Structure formats: structure tokens, C-alpha cells
Structure 1
Amino acid sequence: MKKISVLFLIFMLTACAAPTRTDVDEFFVVSTGTIIPDSVPLFVDCLIDGFNQSHSGLTNFEVRQSMRSTGYRVETYTGSFNYLLVSADVFTDGRVVLHESSSAGWSNTNGEKETFGHCMQNFESSIVKD
């Protein structure tokens, strides 16, 4: 029982150490682009739908959308440990940026990257890959 308690404590502390978007050094830009500003809500919907389909039903991932003062943020978290894996900023002026977390190294984020590219093809003005 003592070993289980220690493991649980380690997992809890590890989850607390997961980077957030305020940890600028823990995220890198995967892709950027520009969409028509009138398409921003549709682009956000495209990201949410695609991010939700990026992982099988057997895995525990959660997609969250938040409204920011400059637009929207769509993010994928691991459900178990609440690690932020991928974060997309969609600005009201049409700029879009996909970020990946340093903690995503052990998770497959190809689905989110493909979704971002697919949504860009549907709504893009221009795209730049870093």
C-alpha cells in the first residue's frame, strides 16, 4: 500500500509540473498562417472537430476551447495527467499559430498537425511552416 501511495504522489507531482502556455520556453511553433478574418469561427470549429478525432476512443485526451481577448485558443490535453500537448491560437485578425509543448514528446500529435494543415487548406490566405 505504501508503494502505491508513493507512486500516486509522484504522478501527482509530475502532473503539477506540466508546462502551461505561460511557460514560453516550453512551446515551439509548428506552423503559422493567415485565414480570412470572417472565417475565424469556422476555422475554430474545424480545429475542435479535428483535434477531437485525432486520438482513438481508447485513449484519454481532452480538447478545450477558450476565448481570449485577441481571439480563440484550442488545446489538446491528456486527460489522465492534464498535460498540455498542442495549442492553437486563432486571432480575430486571421492569424493562426499552432504550438507544440515540450511535454508532447511522448504523445503522438500528428493528428492535430494534420488537422491544422487540413483546416488551413480549407480557409487559408497563406501558410508558413517553421
Structure 2
Amino acid sequence: MQNVFILALSLMLAACAAPTRTDKDEFFVVSSGNVPIEKVPHFVDCLTDGFNRAHSGLTNFEVRQSLRATGYRVETYTGSFNYLLMSADIFNDGNVVLNESSAAALINTNGEKDAFVGCLAEFKVNV
């Protein structure tokens, strides 16, 4: 019983160590681009849907979308330990940035990266 308690306590403490977006050194830019300002809400929807499809139904991941002062943020968290893995900022001016967390080192985030690239291709600014 003591071993179970120690294991549970260790897991809880490890979860507290997960980086957040305020830990700027723990995130790096994977991709970025621009979308037309009028397409920003559509890009957010596309990205949210893509992040939701990024992992099979057998895994425990959660996608969160939040409204920010400068636009939107779409993020993928592990459901079990609540680690932030991928975070996309979609700014009201049309700039979009995909960041990956250091906590995602051993987790396949190709689905989120593919979703970002696909949505960017669909809604990008034509120059």
C-alpha cells in the first residue's frame, strides 16, 4: 500500500513540473504564417478540428481553445497528466504561430503539425 501511495505522489509531483506558456524557454516555434484577417475564425475552427483528429480515440488527449486579448489560442494537452504539448497562437492581425513544448519530446505531434500546415495551406494569404 505504501508503494502505491509513493507512486501516486510521485506522479502528482511530476505533473506539477509540466511547462506552461509562461515558460518561454520550454517552447519552440515549429511553423508560422499569415492568413487573411477575415479568415481568422475559420482558421481557428480548422485548427481545432485538426488537433482533435490528431490522435486516435484510444489515447487520452484534450484540445482546448481560448479567446485571448490578441486573438485565439488552440492547445493540445495530455489528458492523463495535463501536459501542454502543442500550442498555436492565432492573432487578430492574421499572424499564426505553432509552438511545441519540451514536454512533447516523446509524444508524436505530427498530427498537430500536419493540421497546422493543412489549415495554413487552405487559408493562407495569397501574395
Same fold (TM over 0.5): yes
Name the structure 2 match of 1:88: 88
Offset of residue 46 of structure 1: 0.3
Structure 2 distance, partners of 1:32, 1:96, is: 5
Q: Does 1:33 align with 2:25?
A: no
Offset of residue 106 of structure 1: 1.2
Structure 2 distance, partners of 1:12, 1:106, is: 19
Name the structure 2 match of 1:78: 78
Q: Could you tell me the TM-score, scaled by structure 1's length? A: 0.96
Name the structure 1 match of 2:67: 67
Structure 2 distance, partners of 1:32, 1:56, is: 25
- What RMSD in Å do the two structures reach over aligned CA positions? 0.7
Structure 2 distance, partners of 1:11, 1:47, is: 31
Aligned length: 126
Structure 2 distance, partners of 1:107, 1:10, is: 21
Unaligned 5+ segments in structure 2 are: none
Structure 1 distance, partners of 2:45, 2:73, is: 11
Equivalent runs, 1:1-130 vs 2, <5 Å: 1-125=1-125
Q: Secondary structure of 2:105's match?
A: helix
Report sequence identity in percent.
Answer: 67
Letter in 1 for 2:96: V
Offset of residue 108 of structure 1: 0.6
Misfit runs of 4+, over 4 Å: none
Offset of residue 66 of structure 1: 0.5
Structure 2 distance, partners of 1:122, 1:17, is: 37
